[in-house]
Each structure stands twice: as structure tokens, then as C-alpha cells.
Amino acid sequence: MIIRIFALIAALTILAACSAPATVVEPRARLAVAEAMAGGNADGFARATVPRPFTFPRDHGPHPEYAIEWWYYTGNLQSVEGRRFGFQFTIFRTGLMPGEAERSSAWASSSIYMAHFALSDISGGRFYAFERFSRGAAGLAGAQSEPFRVWLEDWSAEGLGADGTPMRLRAAEDGVALDLTLTAGKPPVLQGDRGLSQKSAEIGNASYYYSFTRMPISGTVRIGETLYQVSGLGWMDREWSTSALGEDQVGWDWFALHLDDGRDLMFYRLRLRNGGIDPYSKGVLVDVAGNARRLNHDEVLAEPLDYWTSPRSGATYPARWRLRVPDEAIDLTLTPLLADQELPVTVVYWEGAVAISGSAAGSGYIEMTGYTPQDR
């Protein structure tokens, strides 16, 4: 979801002072959401203001006329032995200037790239999270549409077919690795108004946003010397924009859920500084055939049931949720599969695998931002 906006600006702030490309696992500084939001310059970049047509694989590729974009994947996996995992893999691009840079040297770049790779070893009770930065030059990082590929060094997502699907994800760091193939189980869903997702009342404070909500997965996960053959379900979000949170918005809670009856549910809940919920919060319910119903902020009720406090950041996050869509007779309890799935990266946030019970069973992912002491 929209954490990509702020994390990318934070990456730009760090890399602007670097004279050479860098791989960063432990960032030099932690930034609050508001601090990261203040770092970008949108002059000359295009803005998302009206609906547009989407074509594939072109729109899987880069949009350098916009300041920010990301390729985002999560999923729940199980090995043939029954070992359970969750994963997150995201590559972000921040534009230094609109369009592509004229190459005065091999190091010249108009974009900075950042990536997050996280693995939840549910059965082993461990959470692994990594962060990298590099410039879009000299082959270190980049994106292309035909054939679709986005990469940061040896971390990558690439399309295997003419339309960009299936997609193959590969990442490895410090003895933890994944190599997964994700198939488009349903057609892409255009979020918001035909793919235009408005985040607040300001014109242009929006993104172009589509999702593959149910992607069957096969592949491998490696921890140390042990290689696991895995399968499961994944989710892809794809957004590009030139935007930021509204002044009164302090954070968000994002839910991406696979129900065992074949439906998929997404909702993001934008939180205000006064404790309220912004009316620009929204979501979508996708049926078995791939038909999507848009959900407005007042059609989804999300209630924290428990809390967990991070020993690293001091943030206290909701640890269990009740999520309801009364018009659809949906009443779910969402329980983290590991309590600690907080990414200790430049902009600290919690993103992790959850189990679903209640009116339907299933699995999913939750992202929560704006909870650290820096964000208060």
C-alpha cells in the first residue's frame, strides 16, 4: 500500500549523499512517516488525476514521468512437509527528475531504487527482514516492460509470459532466500475509480493502482542449508503516483485477505491524528470469478482486539483484529501468525502473515504504519 511513498522518499534522502551505489541492511537512520513525506519534490512530475486505460505488460513496467512507484508481493506458503511461511517482497522507485536521465556517465541516473525482502518462518518462530538501496544505473537496478522485469542487484521480479505473467520472484540475503513463481489466478483488479485511487481530498493526491488478488504460487524457500519446496497463495499490488498523505493523516492499516471460499478482500484504513478514520479509506471484495465490488470506508468495520509492543521501536501495534463487512455477512478474526513481524528498516512498520477465522477461514497479510514514537 502507500507506505511505498514514504519509504521511497526516505531512501532518496539517504542515497543523495552517497557517491557510490550501496546495499543497506541496517539503515543509518530511522524516519517518521511525516519526516519522510516532507522529503520529496514533485516539480515537473505527472500527477494521477483522472482514470486512464491500463495495458499489459506495458503497465507492469516503469512510469518515469511519475515520482514514485512500487511492485509489491506478499503470500502465505507451506512446504510439502507442512512447514509454514509468509513472505513480503517489494521494489520501490523514486524519481530524481521526470523522465529518463541523459547518460553523461555510466553512473548517471534519474531514479533511486529500494527493496524490502522479509520472510516469516511460522513453524520456526523467526522473522527475517532485509533492505537494499541502489541507483538505477550501470545495471545495478532498473525496470522494463517488455519483457517485464524489475530488479535491484540480484533481487528481481520478472514476467515469464507475453502479458507479464506468470511472474518469478528471486531474492537472497544472509542465508535466507526465495525463488517463487506466481500465476495470475484471476484477472487484474483496477482499484478505486477504474484504477485511480484517491488518497485524500487534494487533487492529484492519488495513485494509479491495480492488483492481482489471488496468485497461486510454487517454488522454493531456503533457510541456511535447508531448501523447502513450497506452494501457496500470493497477492500483487502495483502503484505509481506523485503524492503524499494529507496533513491530518498519520498512518494506515492495510488488509489483503484470501478467503477459503475463493473470495479476496482488500481494505486500507487511513488513520487521522485525532484518532478518526479518513473517509478516503476504501477497499474491494473480489468474487470467485474475479468480479470486483468496491467497498467504501463506512462499509467495512475494523476493530483491534489485542495489542503488541515492539521491544526495538517501542511501537504498540494492534495484534489481532475483528473485520466486518455487514452487507456481505463477513465477520472475520485476523490473528498474526507471529507476533513480531515488524520491519526494522528506514521507515519502521509492521507487515506480516495472519490467519483468518470466523464467518470464513483463510490467510492473508496486514500492513500497519504510523505507530512508532517518531510518528506521534
Q: Which residue has the higher pLDDT, 198 or 110?
A: 198
Cα(135)–Cα(15) distance, integer angstroms: 8
Helix (H) or strand (E) holding 290: none
The owner of cell 485511480 is: 196
Q: What pLDDT, in 10s, does the model give residues 22-65?
A: 333 343 345 554 444 333 567 789 999 999 999 999 999 999 99
Q: What pLDDT, in 10s, does the model give residues 216-259?
A: 999 999 999 999 999 999 999 999 998 766 778 888 999 999 99
- Is residue 137 pLDDT above 60, yes or no? yes
Is the torsion defined by CA of 286, 291, 295, 299 positive or negative?
negative
Q: Tell me, what's the pLDDT at 30?
A: 52
Q: Tell me, what's the pLDDT at 14?
A: 41
- Is residue 189 pLDDT above 60, yes or no? yes
Cα(191)–Cα(187) distance, integer angstroms: 12
Q: Which residue has the higher pLDDT, 24 or 81?
A: 81
- Is residue 90 pLDDT above 50, yes or no? yes
Q: Tell me, what's the pLDDT at 201?
A: 86
- Is residue 113 pLDDT above 70, yes or no? yes
- Is residue 105 pLDDT above 80, yes or no? no
Instruction: Label each residue of 286-297 as H, E or C.
Output: ECCCCCEEEEEH
- Is residue 15 pLDDT above 90, yes or no? no
For every residue of 40-76, DSSP letters joined together read ---TT-----S-----TTGGGS--TTSSEEEEEEEEE
Q: Is the distance from CB of 286 to CB of 214 less than 8 angstroms?
A: yes
Task: Give the angle 92-42-90 at the CA atoms, nearest 5°.
Answer: 10
Closest Cα to residue 360, out of 289, 260, 286?
Answer: 260
- Is residue 130 pLDDT above 50, yes or no? yes
Q: Tell me, what's the pLDDT at 20?
A: 36
The owner of cell 487484474 is: 188
Q: What average pLDDT does range 14-22 have in this prediction?
A: 37
* pTM over cut 0.75: yes
Cα(376)–Cα(368) distance, integer angstroms: 14
> How big is the chain by its Cα radius of gyration, in Å?
19
CATH superfamily, with its number, for domain 3-50+57-375: AttH-like domain (2.40.370.10)
C-alpha cell of residue 77 = 506458503
- Is residue 9 pLDDT above 50, yes or no? no
Instruction: Tell me which amino acid residue 95 is.
Output: G
The owner of cell 512447514 is: 83
CA distance readout (Å), 97 to 47, 93, 94, 240, 371: 14, 12, 9, 15, 31
Q: Is the distance from CB of 170 to CB of 179 less than 8 angstroms?
A: yes
Helix (H) or strand (E) holding 317: strand 316-325
Q: Is the distance from CB of 21 to CB of 135 less than 8 angstroms?
A: yes
Cα(184)–Cα(57) distance, integer angstroms: 13
Cα(216)–Cα(231) distance, integer angstroms: 7
Q: Residues in the chain, how many?
A: 376
Q: Tell me, what's the pLDDT at 29?
A: 43
Q: Tell me, what's the pLDDT at 41?
A: 60
Please write down the long-range contacts of 103-110, taking CB distance under 8 Å and 24 or more positions apart.
106/137, 106/138, 107/135, 107/137, 107/138, 108/137, 109/135, 109/136, 109/137, 110/64, 110/136
Q: Which residues of 179-208 are buried (b: 16+ CB within 10 A; e: fewer)?
A: ebbbbbbbebbbbbeebbbbbbeeeebbbb
Q: Is the distance from CB of 300 to CB of 279 less than 8 angstroms?
A: no
Q: What pLDDT, in 10s, does the model give residues 282-297?
A: 999 999 999 999 999 9
What is the average pLDDT score of the chain?
Answer: 89
Q: What pLDDT, in 10s, does the model give residues 302-312?
A: 999 999 999 99
Q: What average pLDDT does range 97-112 have in this prediction?
A: 75
Boundaries of every domain in the chain? 3-50+57-375
- Is residue 101 pLDDT above 70, yes or no? no
Q: Tell me, what's the pLDDT at 278?
A: 93
For every residue of 245-257, DSSP letters joined together read --TTEEEEEEEEE
Q: Which residue has the higher pLDDT, 16 or 197?
A: 197
Cα torsion through 34, 35, 36, 38, rounded to 10: 90
The owner of cell 477465522 is: 357
